[in-house]
Structure 1
Amino acid sequence: MFNIILFGPPGSGKGTQSEKLIAKYGFKHLSTGDLLRSEISSQTPLGLEAKNFMDKGQLVPDEVVIGMISTALEQNPGVSGFLFDGFPRTQAQSEALDKLLKLKQTAIGVVLALDVSEEELVKRLLNRGITSGRSDDNNEEVIRARIVEYHKKTSAVADHYKQFDKVVHIPGEGSVEEIFEALCAEIDSRQ
């Protein structure tokens, strides 16, 4: 089983590249947002616990999220690997994920970070705001704040995985196909 974490600031093309990687390698996409919504709608014990925190405007504790990831791992025994999206976001979450994966006799194979200049991100997101109608993509100030927040949060995770030589920076500017080929080259070289 080969597991990857795909990083990229808003507008980096992470969603597009995730879909292509899943199609090519058969990875199971693990988005914590999707997991939370699924567990809540299924009214599982973890989902109800998460909903309780969310209803109070609180963040869902790491233990609950890790529990949901553990369930997802158990429910997908035959997949070739998992693509983690939106998790981990902190040093503590990285360590908890590593412990869980070790229990399941697997690990993170590589952390792929899409690097895109701030000006290009702003341009892409403003354009996406026009075409998609997403309200968070039509205000340059809000976009720049989201990019700063992304870098603040993910630097701790990148630092955690750098100590294991698992972080690879991929240029996220160029054609979709060029970026995809660069991501695939890294995955193929580590499997």
Structure 2
Amino acid sequence: MKTTYIFILFIILAIAQISIPAQMIYHRETILKEGKAFKFKTEPIDPADPFKGKYIHLNYELNSFKTDSIIWKPEQDMYISISNDSLGFAKANTVHKQIPKQGDFVLAKVNWYNSNTKEVRFTFPFNEFYMEENKAYDAEIAHRDAQRDSLPNNTYAVVYIKEGQAVLNNVFINDIPIAEYVEQ
């Protein structure tokens, strides 16, 4: 009788250990298939984390918005209504404390609010792009060099957004995926 309970408990734990990661993967894949793609201009650095591995930390050019109607607190959730500008890059249209009823939007966190200039600074949750360890440093150097280039809009990240959830798909330099760019 006791072995039967242990076996049943083992089966339940095994199913839970498989279903939770499978659900997370399915959710991200759904966003990539059904979400809308936006290009965000980037400014990277390359940190290393012993638990996460090598990745490029991305700072986005779109990181603030002027608003005069709301006071924001640090670490507060905010929803940013976005669209594409004339060059095809993401731009903020409005910021909200509640989920917008229509249009494309993404969840972000408030960094700080300047009540004098009525500007709120924010951080997106898709700011880490993981790479093969041997390519991450070369990618950082290539991205930094591309930022110094006189060509505008040559470094960006493609992010898929669906119902406020976002998945970072890839980082590009001169319209070439960064992993391919560093191999050249």
Higher relative contact order (CA 8 A, sep 6+): 1
Q: Which TM-score tier does this pair reach, normalised by the shorter chain?
A: under 0.3
Higher helix fraction: Structure 1 or Structure 2?
1
Q: TM-score, normalised by structure 2?
A: 0.25
Q: Which has the larger radius of gyration?
A: 2
Higher strand fraction: Structure 1 or Structure 2?
2
Q: TM-score, normalised by structure 1?
A: 0.24
